[in-house]
Chain A
């Protein structure tokens, strides 16, 4: 075989080219940051969350208005003091004193109003944030599993975190906007009231600022978003380097990756410098406009004071107002972006909240009690995730109480779907699934779950101690119960070798345990749950022979005195079963015990005679040869 001659593995060729196939991090930016400025539907949905706090929000708005009013009052009081107490010919200490008292009252009201407003708004915004999050979380507990199957956890997490946070930001700023708008109008009104002409002249700079900001905002935002995105990209590349460091080192990619990372970090630097330019360019503009307004007041107002057409206090008040009136404009334009971000987030949140719940308890659902017989029956069941393509076709069988039934069949034959139906993860399109003699749709989901324990193929452990994982939701289980269960499934010995025995904290997803050990813990968990029926999906991954032996023993223990439905892959398990059901392409093609099926000479016998220690090990070609295809059935 000729292999084309290639250059030695060098990082970056002399001409500065990067390797064509090398990338670090992901370039994909997840989702839109900004939506419409206002969307009635979304605001309506958000409102349903704010409604419980309606009274508090009213108080907050009232407090904001009071606060703004006192803000406006203060320069007016100063003006009054100057004009009537200080700068008049008949200098008047009494008027000054009155002004001071008025000032004191104003600032006390200001204090109280700002305290009330900020406390309420801050707390309600947090409350609403947590409420929305809880509503979504509890909704996700009920939505259909097919939704959960096709939705990435990361995506849902960013709904539960990022999007919920921008709702909080939105709530806080919307109350503040009320204050800003009032302040802006208040200042304009007071200035026009104090002196109409001077007021108009000074206010002439406002439109200029507005126009400048309207021109600036979209451009600046592009720069800000770019800076933000290059940040995620660079940080993503760093995270990849950390998580994949072993792969990177073993394939000696360090220097290539460094070069590529440098490209990204440099782009990030550039983007940030551009964003900084955009952010800062507004500073001299605002300062110049303030300067213009003040200069106008000094020249025009001053000469009118000279001519005694205007009180000096009015001029002082104007100078105070001018220094304030750019603030609301600045924050209002910022709030515009917050609104847009909130609408985009709100859209995504409502999408989650609107995912339909397919499976609910029937209005007169009964509770399945522990004294039911533990039988499971499928009556002519038809089911498909997409109703047009059924994965189970007219399946009927009955599992007697205490019996162990193995489900066998090639990948895609419908074994897992059948198991999911016992638990009513999905509803059938036709036919019935009965547990303890009751149609599962007539039972409460909770009670059904209590009576059916399930062990999944991929054992899933939670952060927490070994003890907490085995006990899981069965909070009445004692330490002794847990130890007993662990002993029964043969997990006790290895648990005791862990640094703190049952109190050992497991790493993320039980990372500090081997797959086999995790499997044993999930067995113990099912045993503690002590259900009448056990549904078990045997692990296919190759577990070392030593642990495998433990697992086989544990399985026997687990199935003692229970009805067992096992999706079996290993022949040892299959042969132990009381009955074997063979599925293919969604149809039940054979049923019986090992000897009967062998005598039958059909699919099971053929598979068995291929002599693999596990049905999953059978190569595709041989499987195809042994199994009659669709056309034959």
Chain B
């Protein structure tokens, strides 16, 4: 399958392309699109262009005029040649003939200038329509991607979305100028041109046009083949890219296993397969362009022969012959472009189908029609018999019959083996996913009846792996509150034990982090994530295993700093390190999506169940409770 990475390469950033190339599957259902759907897509794109009626009109109008003007040029040239032939004498007749020539020349000059101007208008406005459409589609795409819920993003490779948002969008944007306007232009040039040739001289006209069907067919077939091989080539190049990228990222593993030779073999295999296809493409392209040129010149030779004989026989003039020959040079370009046109339709139809499929998607988690802003009074969070299954595996419940409650100022600890559904609990409170059974309420309001905005301002989750935006540390901390003033940012940073580290950086808070900036370690990222969440001042704060990469000492200091905030809100701590949550007011032990034990640390230890077993596993055998933990429990 090679249907993603489509399109004209040059205008897309190389970064994006690289990432796009790294993934190989896509919105699979969309690729199965049939003919009818493709056609529907084209109609829909065409309809979109009508949102810019004036520019569209200008573009099409200018195309019609420019094409007509272009067709006048061969006739004028033929006319001029004839004018030199008719009056072969000097004197008065000669003067008249010279005046006539001057007139022809001036008309030709005017036609040329006008043709240039109208071509300019045609090209500019058809590009403008495309760019305006591109702009609208970009915004639509961006908005959609931002709104689509977690379950959608779970099911789709980010690389595929990038392909749609960049390459497919490009394919649709180009549709107006490379498919629609070009169709009008080519129909005009070829149709009108053929009519003029045939009406001037049927036989010579047929001879002159003899190359058209062949070239039109060849060029369409070839373009479609080139497109197919191009997609295949992208696929092979993406394998090569992956081999290189993984090699470079994992260079230590490569060196450690002394596997350079093996890696070079891998590289050569991927490289050869791509090179082979690249060579094949050169072959397809060259065979075809050479054949097209040959057939064109052959027709020209025939025109010269047949036409020459006709001139000798006195049937036509030298001027007519000249205009035929010039016509042919004018027709050559549009006939060759027929293939590009066909290609543009094919591209717009597949790209458009994928793009619209994305834009038309339903958003799973959205505001109810009568949603109201969440009102926080007591700050009481309740899970009432909550059950949940991921939509992809609907039959397998991840959580079942979960009930608990927490009030402002309380801390709930959630612990359990990997895959028990702990993190899912964190994702249900801000409605990253909707519960499948039961309900979650905050101060008595079902969270599904609240506006998403108000809910997410009230509930904040500190994620396991903090995403860093490519901007300064300061802006990253203030991500959820971009109007924030510096002192608040620094306070949040201090509480998250990040402040000292940041001050140690040469650029301090102005250090750019993220993909193109300084990279932070897992623990630093988690601390940034905590600081970021503190900025939001939520009523419910959930730590989703968000201190795993932070050492116990620092974590303890964070915990102490957190107490200041904890009294105003519900805190939920999900962790597998017991020292992270043993101070909680209530600890839930989750297994297979159900709460199997609950109570305080002391109760659970005394009960001697699963929690106790986990505790024993974590504490050094033979040792008593670690000092760090003891301090914390006493505090």
Contact = CB atoms under 8 A, between A and B. Distances in A.
Contact of A284 (B117, B453, B515, B556): B117
Interface in A107-155: 107-108, 110-111, 114-115, 118-119, 122-123, 126-127, 130, 133-134, 137-138, 140-142, 145, 148, 153-154
Contacts of B119: 283-284, 287
B294 A28 contact: no
22 contacts: A82-B318, A91-B311, A118-B290, A130-B275, A134-B271, A231-B12, A236-B470, A241-B145, A272-B134, A283-B116, A284-B113, A284-B116, A287-B115, A294-B77, A294-B108, A298-B105, A312-B84, A316-B322, A456-B253, A460-B252, A472-B262, A620-B553
A306 B94 contact: yes
A250 B84 contact: no
A611 B552 CA distance: 12
Closest 6 CB pairs of A and B: A449-B258, A291-B112, A287-B116, A619-B553, A284-B116, A19-B482
Contacts of A450: 258
Nearest to A122: B282
Contact of A462 (B128, B246, B264, B483): B246
A460 to B, nearest CB: 4
A8 to B, nearest CB: 9
Given A4-B487, A21-B482, A287-B112, A616 B430 contact: no
Contacts of B361: none
Interface residues of B, number: 172
Contacts of B39: none
Interface stretch (A173-181, A207-215, A260-268): A260-268
Contact of B147 (A254, A305, A456): A254
A249 interface: yes
B131 A122 contact: no
Given A250-B461, A287-B112, A473-B257, A265 B483 contact: no
A241 B77 CA distance: 58
Contacts of B275: 126-127, 130
Interface string B249-275: 111111111111111100110010011
Given A6-B485, A115-B286, A617-B628, A472 B257 contact: yes
B142 A241 contact: yes
Contacts of A250: 430, 432, 456, 460-461, 463
Given A243-B467, A454-B256, A299 B557 contact: no
A85 interface: yes
Nearest to A25: B470
Contacts of A7: 483
B318 A312 contact: yes
Contact of B293 (A114, A281, A545, A549): A114
B400 interface: no
A252 B142 contact: no
A375 interface: no
A556 interface: no
B123 A145 contact: no
A93 B312 contact: yes
A239 B113 contact: no
B425 to A, nearest CB: 15
Contacts of B98: 302-303, 306
Interface string A420-448: 00010100000000000000000001111
Given A122-B282, A247-B463, A86 B145 contact: no
Contacts of A231: 11-13
B367 interface: no
Given A269-B131, A315-B81, A26 B470 contact: yes
Interface in B224-280: 241-242, 244-264, 267-268, 271, 274-275, 278-279
Given A153-B245, A246-B432, A473-B262, 8 more contacts: A157-B18, A234-B138, A256-B482, A284-B117, A312-B318, A449-B255, A525-B257, A611-B623
Contacts of B294: 107-108, 110-111
Interface stretch (A96-104, A392-400, A581-589): A96-104
A299 B106 CA distance: 9
B144 to A, nearest CB: 10
A364 interface: no
Given A154-B15, A544-B576, A26 B515 contact: yes
B80 A302 contact: yes
B255 A473 contact: no
Contacts of B418: 514, 516, 544, 546-547
B28 interface: no
Given A133-B271, A291-B109, A315-B84, A9 B483 contact: yes
A140 to B, nearest CB: 7
A23 B318 CA distance: 69
Nearest to A237: B142
Nearest to A227: B11
A150 to B, nearest CB: 12
A239 B19 contact: yes
Given A25-B470, A235-B13, A115 B287 contact: yes
A306 B256 contact: no
A198 interface: no
A493 B102 CA distance: 93
A441 to B, nearest CB: 15
Interface in A375-423: 423
A149 B338 CA distance: 51
Nearest to A260: B482
A158 interface: yes
Interface stretch (B30-38, B214-222, B348-356, B613-621): B613-621
A91 B312 contact: yes
A253 B301 CA distance: 68
Contacts of A153: 245, 248-249
Interface in B476-533: 478-485, 487-488, 512, 514-516, 522, 532
Contacts of B293: 110-111, 114
A298 B250 CA distance: 70
A323 interface: yes
A446 B286 contact: no
A23 B13 contact: no
Interface string A20-31: 111111101000
Interface stretch (B158-166, B440-448, B595-603): B158-166
Contact of B105 (A299, A320, A529): A299
A110 B297 contact: yes
A319 B553 CA distance: 86
Contact of A445 (B101, B245, B258): B258
Contacts of B329: 320, 323
B244 A157 contact: yes
Interface string B101-134: 1101110111111011101100110011001101
Nearest to A140: B248
Contacts of B482: 19-22, 253, 256
Contacts of B481: 6, 9
